Each structure stands twice: as structure tokens, then as C-alpha cells.
Structure 1
């Protein structure tokens, strides 16, 4: 990214905004595409019968109880969310219209399932039109090693900013320190894009990315004040937001001032 390039925008959870019922749905996806965003972000889980589907949380509600998505079949999931989007369907919709910001919510031994998911995205959309993010260090490394071996320019980033609420204090502190000082994790994971919660980005991760020449993806920017800050050219490469309409307006106003 050149310093004067506009910061790109990614519609979080397919652009659902604050409506949880619209998260990762076709209605939200169509709305985001209608706005003309650069990327559409969506969360990908793998069901117990090997199907890839869009859902944010790790669990679903079944008869008033939480059930892990990974332990549910596609049919069981569809019984609770009949309008669920499947991964391949979304790739086909996005191809040629917007780029895909794929947030993987699953992991597997050796990263086999993650690699298969990314390979399918490359097949449908092209390697240059996707960015892959995940909280799992080993998943990032598996995808990067595969893409390097295939000679593909896939961007894969280790997402910093996982929730630590409820964890033992020592574990929570260890995780936060590894995110505030991510050199060892990024080196081990081979990540080639920096991905961080906006607070961590302000507390030094953005500086880390600049020093190492890594593109910076910041999530999730929703207030107009924060959008003005992060949409300044050169400050980030890609910003994820729940309010792509507002973000596009802020970016357009900034561009107009620069042209004036």
C-alpha cells in the first residue's frame, strides 16, 4: 500500500450492522454489495459432517441450550437458522463483485481443513481477491506454507484481540502480552498481514506493522471519530466496520477534501 492510497473497507459479518439476526445472511450481503464495499467479511465454521457455513458464534441455541457448531450437522444447524449461507454459495456471489475477507472459526490437525477452504476460495475468486484471518497461529502457518508452496499471493493474518473474559488471570495476561508484543507469534505463524483489534492497534501494533512493512487490517471501527482516524491514508490497509455506509461516506468526504 502506498501512503496516499485510500484505506479499503470491509463490511463486518456481511454488513449486518447491529442486527444480530442479519449476521452473515444473504440480505446483509446484498446490502453490502449494493454499497460497493471493497471487501465483505464473513465468519466460517465447519459442521460435524464437514460442511462449511457462515456463523459468528461458536455455538447455536438448541431447545434453550448451547450446542457447539462443530458438533452439529448442517441439518441440525439449518433447523435453528434455516437461511444459513453456505461458504461456497458466498464465494460464488462475491466473485467479480467484491473481495472476500474470510474469518476462519475452526482449526484442524495440520491445517488440512483450513487449507481446503482457502484453496476453494482461490479457485472461485483468485488469490488476489481474498484475505484470510484467524485466531489460530497454526492455522495461519499452514495456510501460508501451502500458499507459498503453490506460488500464490494469499494474504493470511493472525488476528490479535481475542476475548479473555473468564480466563484465569495468568492466562489472560499471557495472551494480552503476546498480542501487545507479537513479534514471536508473527514470526512463527508466517503471517503476511497484521490483523488487530483497534485498541491493540493504537497501543503499538500499528507501529509494529509499519516497521515491518506489513499491511494492517484493523477491526472493528464503528464510530465516526474512529473512522476519521483509521481512514487517513497510510494509517491502515483495510478497516472492518459494522457500518459500511457511514465508512464510505467518511472516506468519500476525505477524498473530496484531498482533491479540493
Structure 2
């Protein structure tokens, strides 16, 4: 990439719709949105699986808008905000929204204008079968603290190869205990998430094994990248 490590601006739920506009205007190469589905089938930008204690899987979109302290955009609305200002970064938080989310992103950005990340190898495989041109990354480290989940996180290469992912998205803690190096030796470009401390930003921005740095603070990362 021309400017070294690319930056993906993560939009936090607490930042609301204004945070999405800020991320799109930040100058980062990517804007990350978290994708979930409500009980009435709407694809929404929301990190957490519940709002005000109500699971999104049991909450229709109109009710979600009432419960949420800030506006919860539809994925289609978010992509329109990002389009023309940055590339898309869709982080799929659950199964069942793969085809619709990718179709929306293809319409907004074209096949080279976005990346899809997910912790689910089956989702990657499903996307690659139907949309082989779409860039995907298997996310590892989300279960870093879960009992029984760390085996694949520490040794993700088999899962990555089997599902057909193009990149690996590594939790920054996992990246520092050898997983980044193992993936690099296998020829896999890496995205590292979610990096918010300046010393870690500087470290990963200078690391040739890192393709994309994901952060809640894109302005800081851009300044450090120079």
C-alpha cells in the first residue's frame, strides 16, 4: 500500500451516528462497521448483541430505535455515508447475514472497495463460494479469553486455509505472542485489532507484516503514521 499500513476507523456504538460520519471523514483508508440482524430482518450497524438488555435477535428495528440511546443506522445507510470517502470494512458479528451484507457492499463499493471480517470460518467459506472476488479475513482472538477457544486462535492457519480467507484479522494481544509471525511466514497479510494505545499503534504501523491497523482513534493513528 502506498502509505504503508492502512488504517481502519472503527465506529463504536457509543459514538452514535455522529461517530460514523467522523470515521468516514477521518482520512482513514477503511471505515469498520459491525453488522447484525434484528428480529424483523433489518441489517443494522451495532457491535453488541443486545440493547437495553434485549437481544437484537428478538428486537424489531423500530423497537431497537426506541431502546437505543443513540441512532442505530441500517447497514445500507452506513455504506452510503462511507462511499466515496473510504473503503468499507464490514465485520459480521453473526451468521445469516453474509449474502445480503456482501451484496449491499458490492453495490456501494464494487468488489475492490471493501473487506469482510468475521470470526466464523463457515461465513468466509459461504462468501467465497458465492462472491469469490470479495476480500475476506478470518478474525482470531475474539475467543482469546474463552475456555476452549484459544486453540484455533493460537494456530489459525488450518482454519484460514480451509475457509479460503485472503487475510487474517488478529487481536493485538494475540499478535504479540507469535501468531502474527506465523501468519506472515505463511504469506498471509494481517489486520490487527483494536489498537488504541499510542505505543502499540507506533509498533504495528512500523511492522511490515501488518497490512491494516484497526483503531477507535484514526486521527491518532494517522498522525503517528505521518
Task: Settle same-fold status: TM greater than 0.5.
Answer: yes
Match of 2:62 in 1: 75
Q: 1:123 Cα deviation (Å)?
A: 1.3
1: CA distance, partners of 2:56 / 2:216: 23
Match of 1:192 in 2: 166
Following superposition of structure 1 onto structure 2, how do residues 36-115 of structure 1 map, counting pairs within 5 Å? 36-61=27-52, 66-81=53-68, 83-108=71-96, 113-115=97-99
Secondary structure of the equivalent of 1:158?
strand
Residue from 195, 210, 213 that aligns with 1:236: 210
Match of 1:157 in 2: 137
Match of 1:146 in 2: 130
Contact 1:6 1:233 in 2 (8 A): no
Residue deviations 1:76-126, cap 9 Å, x none? Answer: 111112611110011111111101111111203xxxx31221021011111
Residue from 184, 187, 200 that aligns with 1:226: 200
Residues paired across the two proteins, number? 225
The yes-or-no answer on 1:245 pairing with 2:186 is: no
Q: 1:214 Cα deviation (Å)?
A: 1.7
1: CA distance, partners of 2:153 / 2:118: 14
2: CA distance, partners of 1:21 / 1:178: 31
1: CA distance, partners of 2:99 / 2:51: 25
Contact 1:178 1:185 in 2 (8 A): yes
4+ residue stretches of structure 1 with deviation over 3 A?
A: none
Q: Which runs of 5+ in 1 are unaligned?
A: 253-260
Q: Which has the larger radius of gyration?
A: 1
Following superposition of structure 1 onto structure 2, how do residues 196-215 of structure 1 map, counting pairs within 5 Å? 196-215=170-189
2: CA distance, partners of 1:179 / 1:71: 30
Match of 1:256 in 2: none
Contact 1:5 1:234 in 2 (8 A): no
Q: Which runs of 5+ in 2 are unaligned?
A: none
1: CA distance, partners of 2:79 / 2:14: 21
Moved more, 234-243 or 29-38: 29-38
Contact 1:60 1:69 in 2 (8 A): yes
1: CA distance, partners of 2:187 / 2:3: 15
Match of 2:5 in 1: 7
TM-score normalised to structure 2 length: 0.93
RMSD between superposed Cα atoms in Å: 1.7
Residue from 22, 41, 44 that aligns with 1:31: 22
TM-score normalised to structure 1 length: 0.81
